[in-house]
Amino acid sequence: MARAEVVRSYRGISAASRRDERRDKLLAAARQIWGDTGLTELTVRRVCTASGLTPRYFYEHFATRDALVLAVAEQAHEELFTTMVEASRAEPGGLRRKLLRALTTYLDAIADDPSIHRILTSDAHSVAGLEELRTRAVAIVTDLVVQYSAEFLDSPANPEIRRQEALFVVGGVNQLVEAWLRDPRQPTTDLAELCTELALALVNRSP
């Protein structure tokens, strides 16, 4: 067998597939460490130990520890955002039902894996790019609220005011979620209902 063929494939697994598998292991290990013990405990050494990989393979994918942190955060944001959007799109009916379904799905995802919230709320100033990532995530969710409110509400509104209202809603919901996580006795359905009602009270007001 030619040397090039050996590089491309090992036991039927391509080199690209093996690289992807190693990257997934590093991300999974980092996410577990971050979620369990916090961002400060996430080090290259600990990630390599937890993933069963050597530093050589770490640096094959990530130039620095911070690059890995950003990749984990991006993965968590993308998962939550995709979950919310898919849930809202699958829900028939108007704005209220779609918001309620999206929020319930969001809260259920966090309840099932509390480490997600720890990842999303760790000190954003400790890693370059993390604060910018969160700002983009808030903007995406805000745009989603603006889109739905414009689509389902009859009364027109100034676009800038509507966006400010949506941003207020997103920030308020996040604060309620943080308070809930400190004492998560309230059912996710009840909290989602409260957030939905508060959001609609604002976006449905007379412009």
**Residues facing 13 on adjacent strands:** 10
Architecture label for domain 13-62: Orthogonal Bundle (1.10)
Write down the pLDDT at residue 1.
Answer: 42
Does residue 13 have a pLDDT over 80? no
Q: Is the Cβ–Cβ distance between 158 and 205 less than 8 Å?
A: no
The CATH code of domain 70-207 reads 1.10.357.10
How confident is the model at residue 10, as a pLDDT? 57
Residue type, 145: V
Classify residue 91 by burial, with Cβ atoms within 10 Å: 0-12, 13-18, 19+: middle
Q: What is the pLDDT of residues 39-81, one digit of tens each?
A: 999 999 999 999 999 999 999 999 999 999 999 999 998 998 8
Domain extents for the chain?
13-62, 70-207
Average pLDDT score over the chain: 84
Using the predicted structure, report yes or no on whether residue 6 has a pLDDT greater than 50: no
Given this chain, do its domains 13-62 and 70-207 carry the same CATH topology? no
Contact assessment for residue 156 and residue 95, using Cβ atoms and an 8 Å cutoff: no
Of 106 and 117, more confident: 106
